[in-house]
């Protein structure tokens, strides 16, 4: 396995802006790092399940990807736009408790199953770097854990950024929310155009 290419691919893909990273930064900025941790753990858990699915169903998925890719792109892109709208018209800080209950572990986990960037990333990394070189169940499980851990670290890093710059960003909350929403919309649009 080309280890350097593998590591570069997973780090670049994990740390670039996407729904997980943008949502975690926005949530940490709004509610603090501690209250965003459940979302980060949910992202890691959901991503682990997606990686396991990508590994064990890789051959089956390869034959069905052309059929389901358009559907996944539409659903995932629509969800990203929905998140962008929620960020722009987000509720005030008085509603913090109700928002953090809804945007937590479950939300972070479920986001992975409609996140086309994550699913296509999983299919790509598994089919390109792992399956051709490793086939034992333990090595496949360890790679899934490693990739999910990198996903958690990237999400946590973006949360940390949002939390550290809370004072600065709170002065520019409206502009920050608009920027984060635009980044989500950009992710959505870029995924649609990449498919064409």
The full 3-state SS of 41-70, as one line of letters, equals: HHHHHHHHHHHHHHHHCHHHHHHHHHHHHH
pLDDT for res 63: 61
- CA dist 169 to 96, 119, 125, 135, Å? 17, 31, 35, 47
pLDDT at 40: 93
Q: CB–CB of 24/155 below 8 Å? A: yes
pLDDT value at position 189?
A: 78
pLDDT tens, the chain, 196 aa long: 778 888 887 887 788 777 888 889 888 888 888 999 999 999 999 999 999 988 877 756 556 656 666 676 676 677 767 777 877 776 544 444 444 445 688 888 888 888 877 887 887 788 778 877 887 889 989 999 999 999 999 999 989 988 887 777 667 778 877 887 787 787 777 767 766 5
Q: Where are the alpha helices (DSSP H) in 89-136?
A: 96-102, 105-111, 116-125
The span from the CA of 174 to the CA of 172, in Å, is: 6
């Amino acid at each position: 396995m080309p280890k350097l290419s593998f590591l570069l691919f997973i780090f670049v893909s994990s740390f670039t802006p996407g729904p997980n990273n943008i949502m975690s930064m926005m949530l940490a900025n709004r509610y603090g790092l501690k209250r965003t941790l459940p979302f980060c753990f949910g992202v890691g858990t959901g991503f682990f399940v997606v990686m396991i699915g990508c590994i064990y169903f890789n051959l089956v998925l390869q034959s069905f990807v052309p059929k389901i890719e358009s559907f996944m792109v539409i659903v995932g892109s629509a969800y990203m736009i929905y998140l962008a709208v929620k960020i722009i018209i987000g509720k005030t800080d008085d509603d913090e408790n109700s928002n953090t209950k809804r945007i937590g572990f479950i939300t972070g986990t479920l986001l992975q199953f409609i996140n086309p960037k994550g699913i296509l990333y999983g299919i790509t990394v598994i089919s390109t770097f792992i399956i051709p070189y490793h086939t034992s169940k333990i090595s496949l499980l360890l790679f899934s854990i490693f990739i999910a851990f990198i996903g958690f670290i990237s999400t946590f890093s973006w949360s940390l950024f949002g939390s550290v710059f809370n004072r600065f960003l709170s002065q520019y909350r409206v502009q920050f929310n608009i920027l984060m929403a635009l980044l989500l919309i950009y992710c959505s649009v870029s995924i649609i155009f990449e498919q064409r």
